[in-house]
Amino acid sequence: MQPDSLLPVFSSSKGATAIVIALLVERGLLDLDALVTHYWPEFGQNGKDKVTVRQLLSHQAGLTGVDGGFSFEDLYEHKALAERLAAQRPYWYPGQAYAYHALTIGTLANELIIRIDGRTVQQLLREDICAPRNVDLWMGTPESEDARCVDVEIPPMEEVMAFLASSSLVLETDGLGSLNSPPGGALGLLSAVNSVESRRAGQPAAGMLANGRGLAKLYATTIFDLEGPRLLSDETIAQVAQTQVYGLELGTGLQAKFGIIFQGAFSPRWPFGSYRAFGHDGAGGSIGFADPHHQLSFGYTVKRIPLPGGVDQRALELSKIARQCVTS
Amino acid sequence: MQPDSLLPVFSSSKGATAIVIALLVERGLLDLDALVTHYWPEFGQNGKDKVTVRQLLSHQAGLTGVDGGFSFEDLYEHKALAERLAAQRPYWYPGQAYAYHALTIGTLANELIIRIDGRTVQQLLREDICAPRNVDLWMGTPESEDARCVDVEIPPMEEVMAFLASSSLVLETDGLGSLNSPPGGALGLLSAVNSVESRRAGQPAAGMLANGRGLAKLYATTIFDLEGPRLLSDETIAQVAQTQVYGLELGTGLQAKFGIIFQGAFSPRWPFGSYRAFGHDGAGGSIGFADPHHQLSFGYTVKRIPLPGGVDQRALELSKIARQCVTS
Amino acid sequence: MQPDSLLPVFSSSKGATAIVIALLVERGLLDLDALVTHYWPEFGQNGKDKVTVRQLLSHQAGLTGVDGGFSFEDLYEHKALAERLAAQRPYWYPGQAYAYHALTIGTLANELIIRIDGRTVQQLLREDICAPRNVDLWMGTPESEDARCVDVEIPPMEEVMAFLASSSLVLETDGLGSLNSPPGGALGLLSAVNSVESRRAGQPAAGMLANGRGLAKLYATTIFDLEGPRLLSDETIAQVAQTQVYGLELGTGLQAKFGIIFQGAFSPRWPFGSYRAFGHDGAGGSIGFADPHHQLSFGYTVKRIPLPGGVDQRALELSKIARQCVTS
């Protein structure tokens, strides 16, 4: 491990995708209250014609999986997967429930971005944010960075299985699940992120590589003037960080809280900042966020995946100390 | 008990009512997104003018009981009860909460069916499904079948009371309750289903008689060609099996999940199949369902009511084995 | 303490504010389904243009606190606080969640009342209800009543802290909280209600003074002819007592249930009557309600604040006995 090593950050990728979405809001190109079909007409099939962008991007649209399942190869082939999702009937009546779209949210957001901007989320992130501001993270990592890439280390299988056995997460293979279909389920995904295919594809929900500094700087560009004017206005941040759903998550029964893709801060589950904070953690322990109230941004990556999944508890501790530093 | 004995199946009756509703959807006669008043104008009284068919049939309309209470005689007299429900103000703002309409859902669905088809749910079930396909179940059991009818056996009262005392179910007589008003509350209902009056009336929420084979065959006709073409298309099944509500049930605080009348499968509470399964259990232990993913249907009835109420745990075990048989 | 001593009743104040709101509904001046902006155009700023009166008055509008915080002086200055709330972006997407607006609900309801009637909630309560019917409670207590005013007694601080430490309530100072900003948080509020400033201001969410008889009589005037015809019709009561929200409260994760400002009776949390009852308790132990089903009204105040907060358990016991008296 070196200071600039790049690690797979799992769902912290969603935070970068969310920032690209926010940038389109900032530019007046995306209206959260519009119907998805306004930008993506084919999406309106099978009872999805009244789904709003707001619902789609806050895990309410009922597309947590893909009928018939999908392989990792399917996941990396954006276009075909987007078409299958557009054709599909939602697993629940949109807006009446929500559940974390662990992988499909990346495909859904990306297609929306393509329809609006012409470029993919990966291109937009690189060209409009990371390249001009020297932000060291990669959604779709090129060969040139391979020497810096480090695999995440999966805990011994008996520890993982013991955790899953004691978990309230339902991981049946034949049912509705946010992780439905990847060969090997959640465990399969843990291994797949280290593959060169995943690295190159940079799937927008879970395939980004970064280091802690890169994540922190990405969020910093949203609220501070940093190698250019800040990317997002207070008005835009208020819109995307606003809580969109709260309550019991369908399938797991856990309490979650989401903004526009972003996880809701100031919740017992994700206590990473004030009620104005916005960010996202990853199954491998990473997290990135900005907190306009405390005027700080934060990034964290880790090589050995901590149990239980999600953000590393040490990262939350660190972020608490950081808050205390700026308020005392 | 004989192989063709008929037993009261309590709320498994709702599954048959739901299939009749689905048949009207299949025939293009019922639009789930329409207002109830489109078919049943008098329903729009006292703040119910914006209630959709979808909400009415997924326990969201706030009509769990009848103001002033009702007797079993009232329950069997469909028309008068439907009129009282149509006139009533919902107990909650429709769509803002849901609670199991243990008895009234039958009356509400039946009136909707009558307004659309002219026939009652009982007539439609017999004439269009059970008679032509030789399905042995009876919503409104005629004298001709009396010799085959067997009473369900209620557990010793001390066992029932001990269960109710330890239950989180709220069964106050002066409040909002899905079972409000039948003399004797839940216990009264347990006894009433064995009466000849209940058998003849075949109240569409709880008054059907069946055996396991009858329930299994009813569901089989929906997904298989069986003495005629299958009754429901994939499209219709996807509509009615789709989750409509999920979360904390008002009154009990339990987690439930409902489609269009059907209980939501693939939930911790009703783990009877894949996310595409649709069915309904009964307080007396019975259950019926179809699972298009596993390509099977299932029916189960039992004479001695098992505790705690709802589907017999042995039925769930059996259904699990059945799934394993078809997938291995 | 004397029979006519006046005590701060904390959130039981909200019950009086709710009755004034109900009176405007009764008079045909307020439509719960109208947009707030219909009466209060400035309210529609920053994503609040589609908020209905119904949502605003059932803790769904996302205005639990005021950006930048507020002092008690700010709280007593109605106009400026109302303007700040009107300008603010909701903490959540209105209607997608709810959380108790412990203080701001008073300001929001008051501004609505002023826009409709021209008078404040305090004036309307006095002129149209309390003065003509001799109801002994004061929202904005004049000097003339000072001799009868008694301070509530706050439990020893170690008891309060021990309770808060064991509580699931989140009381962070930098986050979203229904009590955000008053200096000292919840504890600060406990002390402030005894101040002359609070007494004079009579903030409509928490600043009323009353005795048990006054609270009981206030509710009695709504359902009985008492020194004049009853104030509210069955129709109006049904509208305002109807459950508007139920589920997990954002921030605390507690289960709550609200009508139009009124707390939902017949819930495990507030078991003060039948499903038709309407009322509100206060953090200091007081409660007032009416129950049309049991044909009784009830008021209770207490000098020494009982732990844990909210309605005194002895008041609930008393109300249960009162119900038994009228039904046996």
Report the 3 state secondary structure along chain B: CCCCCEEECCCHHHHHHHHHHHHHHHCCCCCCCCEHHHHCHHHHCCCCCCCEHHHHCCCCCCCCCCCCCCCHHHHHCHHHHHHHHHHCCCCECCCCCCCCCCCHHHHHHHHHHHHHHCCCHHHHHHHHHHHHHCCCEEECCCHHHHHHECCCECCCHHHHHHHHHHCCCCCCCCCCCCCCCCCCHHHHHHHHCCCHHHHHHCCCCCCEEECHHHHHHHHHHHHCCCCCCCCCCHHHHHHHHCECEEEECCCCCCEEEECCCCEECCCCCCCCCCCCCEEEECCCCCEEEEECCCCEEEEECCCECCCCCCCCHHHHHHHHHHHHHHHC
Q: Span C243-262, mean pLDDT?
A: 90
Asked if C105 and C14 touch (Cβ cutoff 8 Å), the reply is: yes
pLDDT tens digit sequence for B74-124: 899 999 999 999 999 998 999 999 988 989 999 999 999 999 999 999 999
The verdict on a CB contact (< 8 Å) between C245 and B176 is no
Q: Is A322 on the interface with C (CB under 8 A)?
A: no
The verdict on a CB contact (< 8 Å) between A46 and B293 is no
Q: Is B146 on the interface with C (CB under 8 A)?
A: no
**For every one of its 328 residues, what pLDDT tens digit does chain A have, with 9 covering 90 and above?**
999 999 999 999 999 999 999 999 999 999 999 999 999 999 999 999 999 999 999 999 999 888 877 888 889 999 999 999 999 999 899 999 998 898 999 999 999 999 999 999 999 999 999 999 999 999 999 999 999 999 999 888 788 777 766 554 444 444 444 455 555 666 677 778 899 999 999 999 999 999 999 999 999 999 999 999 999 999 999 999 999 999 998 877 888 899 999 998 777 778 888 878 999 999 899 999 999 988 999 999 999 999 877 899 999 999 989 988 887 6
The closest of A160, A318, A178 to A251, measured between CA atoms, is: A178
Among A10-19, A161-170, B149-158, B202-211, which is the least confidently predicted range?
Answer: A161-170
C268 neighbourhood in chain B, CB within 8 Å: 170, 253
- Closest chain C C-alpha to A267 CA, distance in angstroms: 7
Residue in B with minimal Cα distance to A48: B239
* pLDDT of amino acid B184: 63
Among A281-285, B169-173, B227-231, C101-105, which is the least confidently predicted range?
Answer: B169-173
| Residue B272: pLDDT band with limits 50, 70, 90 | confident
* Cβ-nearest to C93 among A242, A247, A268: A242
Residue type, B10: F
* pLDDT of amino acid B174: 45
The verdict on a CB contact (< 8 Å) between C266 and B89 is no
Q: Is C5 on the interface with B (CB under 8 A)?
A: no
* pLDDT of amino acid B166: 59
- Closest chain B C-alpha to C246 CA, distance in angstroms: 6
ipTM over 0.95: no
* pLDDT of amino acid A166: 59
Q: Span B205-233, mean pLDDT?
A: 97
**φ and ψ of B278, to 5 deg:** -145, 140
Cβ burial C198-211 (10 Å sphere, 16+ → b, else e): bbebbbbbbbbbbb
* pLDDT of amino acid C183: 56
The verdict on a CB contact (< 8 Å) between B89 and C238 is yes
C96 neighbourhood in chain A, CB within 8 Å: 243-246
Q: Is B60 on the interface with A (CB under 8 A)?
A: no
Among A45-54, A152-161, B36-45, C242-251, which is the least confidently predicted range?
Answer: A152-161
Concatenated DSSP letters of A149-218: B---BPPPHHHHHHHHHHS-----SSS--TT-SSTTHHHHHHHHTTSHHHHHH--TTT-EEE-HHHHHHH
Q: Is B250 on the interface with C (CB under 8 A)?
A: yes
- In this prediction the pTM is 0.93
* pLDDT of amino acid A183: 57
Q: Is C96 on the interface with A (CB under 8 A)?
A: yes
Q: Span C82-99, mean pLDDT?
A: 94
* pLDDT of amino acid A234: 94
Among B53-57, C1-5, C173-177, C320-324, which is the least confidently predicted range?
Answer: C173-177
Contacting partners of chain B (3+ CB pairs under 8 A) = A, C
* pLDDT of amino acid B168: 45
Q: Is A84 on the interface with C (CB under 8 A)?
A: no
* Cβ-nearest to C175 among A245, A246, A275: A275
Residue in A with minimal Cα distance to B249: A248
* pLDDT of amino acid A49: 97
Q: Span B125-131, mean pLDDT?
A: 98
Q: Which residue has the tokens 């219909």?
A: C38
Chain B residues 294-313 with a CB less than 8 Å from chain A:
294
Among A232-236, A271-275, B26-30, C219-223, which is the least confidently predicted range?
Answer: A271-275
Asked if B37 and B44 touch (Cβ cutoff 8 Å), the reply is: yes
Contacting partners of chain A (3+ CB pairs under 8 A) = B, C
Residue in C with minimal Cα distance to B176: C275
* pLDDT of amino acid C162: 74
Q: Using the predicted structure, report yes or no on whether residue B252 has a pLDDT greater than 80.
A: no
Q: Span B223-246, mean pLDDT?
A: 96
C172 neighbourhood in chain A, CB within 8 Å: 266
CB–CB contacts below 8 A, A to B: 51
Q: What is the CA radius of gyration of chain B?
A: 18
Specify which residues C127 forms β-bridges with.
none
Q: Which residue has the tokens 């953090």?
A: C283
Distance CA C64, CA C61 (A): 8
* pLDDT of amino acid C172: 44
Structure tokens at C278: 């309407």
Distance CA B32, CA A96 (A): 15
A247 neighbourhood in chain B, CB within 8 Å: 247
- Closest chain A C-alpha to C91 CA, distance in angstroms: 6
* pLDDT of amino acid C192: 87
The verdict on a CB contact (< 8 Å) between B245 and A170 is no
Q: Is B69 on the interface with C (CB under 8 A)?
A: no
Q: Using the predicted structure, report yes or no on whether residue B255 has a pLDDT greater than 70.
A: yes
- Closest chain C C-alpha to A211 CA, distance in angstroms: 28
| Residue B183: pLDDT band with limits 50, 70, 90 | low
Q: Span C301-324, mean pLDDT?
A: 90
* Cβ-nearest to A248 among B244, B248, B294: B248
C89 neighbourhood in chain A, CB within 8 Å: 238-239, 242
Residue in B with minimal Cα distance to C246: B97
Contacting partners of chain C (3+ CB pairs under 8 A) = A, B
Distance CA C172, CA C32 (A): 33
* Cβ-nearest to A243 among C46, C97, C174: C97
Among A166-175, B43-52, C14-23, C28-37, which is the least confidently predicted range?
Answer: A166-175
Please give the mean pLDDT across all residues of chain C.
Answer: 90
* Cβ-nearest to C246 among B172, B175, B250: B250
Q: Is C69 on the interface with A (CB under 8 A)?
A: no
